[in-house]
């Protein structure tokens, strides 16, 4: 059912979480973080929900954090804690998550994919985590998950150099399972979800747990990154970058 800029529906054992803020390229606000956390958290002990899909609809996944919304809050206020709660929800989640990416995936939009279990992307998809350009550091255990998934050198290029990956490059790097035509990611994601839902649920849960980093390891890294992120927000580099952003908005 609709709930602001996040729409949550259920279909054949699958909970579908859709970012729906097309006028802002699905840029994520604090309210949206809370809604996504709630959608993930309430699925955990619901046996009727076998897996989840996160999608941004056709043409875009998410532009990442809504910078205007982010800049309105102080570094130690609800801005960071809402984002951290969402990251914890991903780290503690026990249900398979499928991501359907059709268009740009920026910042947290790319980081969250490494918490997902299966990622579909369209040929039009791009992936970036350009925190470095704001004088910041990775979040969401990205500094742990991304080198583990695609190797140190590729992670360095994305996280430290701020490079953007195409869908083909993401597939070659191993964090995108399948590349499809634009407009087809959700349809294909639902097919994958039905395949997962037909499998023995307890065996899926146990196997998934064996494959993944432990929740304790993930949350430790999230906490470490949040601390360093908060420090970087106060740095001269970050202040200059955010001031430059604000000045561009005024022009």
CA distance to 51, 117, 138, 192, per residue, from 196 (Å) = 7, 11, 31, 6
**Token representation of residue 228:** 């360093």
Number of Cβ within a 10 Å radius of residue 83: 23
Averaged confidence pLDDT in the chain: 93
- Per the listing, tokens 């993944």 go with 212
Residue 77: pLDDT above 70?
no
Question: Residue 162: which residues within 8 A CB-CB, separation 6 or more?
Answer: 128, 129, 130, 131, 132, 133
Q: Place 74 in a pLDDT band, splitting at 50, 70 and 90.
A: low
Helix (H), strand (E) at residue 224: helix 215-233
Exposed/middle/buried for 185, CB within 10 Å: 0-12, 13-18, 19+? buried
Sheet holding 60-62, edge to edge: 60-62, 104-106, 126-128, 165-166
- pLDDT over 70 percentage in the chain: 94
Confidence of residue 105 (pLDDT cuts 50, 70, 90): very high
Paired sense of beta strands 6-11 and 2-3, if any: antiparallel
Q: What is the mean pLDDT of residues 43-54?
A: 97
In this prediction, residue 4 carries a pLDDT of 84
What pLDDT is stored for residue 68 in this prediction?
83
pLDDT tens figures, 17-33? 999 999 999 999 999 99
How many whole angstroms from its chain centre is CA 176?
A: 13
Checking if the pLDDT of 75 tops 60, the result is: no
Q: Distance between CA 24 and CA 41 in Å, rounded?
A: 26
- What gap in Å lies between CA 217 and CA 224, rounded to an integer? 11
Q: What percent of the chain has pLDDT over 90?
A: 86
Give the pLDDT of residue 79.
46
Q: Which domains does the chain have, with CATH numbers?
A: 2-183 (3.90.226.10)
pLDDT digits (tens, 9 = 90+) for 197-232: 999 999 999 999 999 999 999 999 999 999 999 999
Residue 129 is predicted with a pLDDT of 97
pLDDT greater than 70 at residue 36: yes
On the question of pLDDT at 159 being above 60, the answer is yes
Token pair 């919304």 is found at: 69
Q: How far is CA 80 from the centre of its chain?
A: 15
| pLDDT reading at 71 higher than 80 | no
- Tell me how far apart the alpha carbons of residues 108 and 210 are, in angstroms, rounded to a whole number: 25
Phi, psi of 131 (to 5 degrees): -60, -35
Cβ atoms 94, 248 nearer than 8 A: no
Q: State pLDDT tens for residues 136-155.
A: 999 999 999 999 999 999 99
């Amino acid at each position: 059912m609709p709930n602001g800029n996040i729409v949550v529906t259920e279909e054949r054992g699958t909970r579908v979480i859709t970012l729906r803020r097309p006028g802002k390229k699905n840029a994520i606000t604090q309210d949206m973080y809370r809604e996504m956390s709630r959608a993930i958290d309430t699925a955990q002990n619901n046996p009727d929900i076998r897996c989840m899909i996160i999608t941004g609809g056709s043409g875009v996944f998410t532009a990442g954090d809504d910078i205007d919304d982010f800049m309105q809050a102080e570094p130690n206020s609800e801005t960071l804690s809402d984002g951290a709660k969402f990251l914890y929800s991903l780290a503690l989640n026990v249900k398979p998550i499928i991501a359907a990416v059709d268009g740009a995936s920026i910042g947290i939009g790319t980081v969250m994919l490494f918490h997902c279990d299966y990622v579909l992307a369209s040929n039009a998809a791009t992936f970036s985590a350009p925190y470095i350009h704001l004088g910041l550091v990775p979040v969401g255990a990205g500094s742990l998950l991304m080198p583990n998934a695609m190797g140190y050198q590729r992670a360095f290029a994305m996280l430290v150099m701020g490079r953007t990956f195409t869908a083909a490059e993401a597939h070659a790097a191993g964090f995108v399972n399948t590349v499809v035509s634009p407009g087809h990611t959700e349809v294909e994601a639902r097919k994958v979800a039905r395949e997962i839902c037909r499998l023995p649920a307890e065996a899926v849960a146990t196997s998934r747990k064996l494959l993944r980093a432990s929740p304790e390891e993930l949350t430790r890294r999230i906490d470490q990154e949040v601390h360093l992120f908060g420090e970087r927000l106060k740095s001269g580099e970050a202040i200059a970058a955010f001031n430059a952003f604000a000045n561009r908005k005024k022009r």
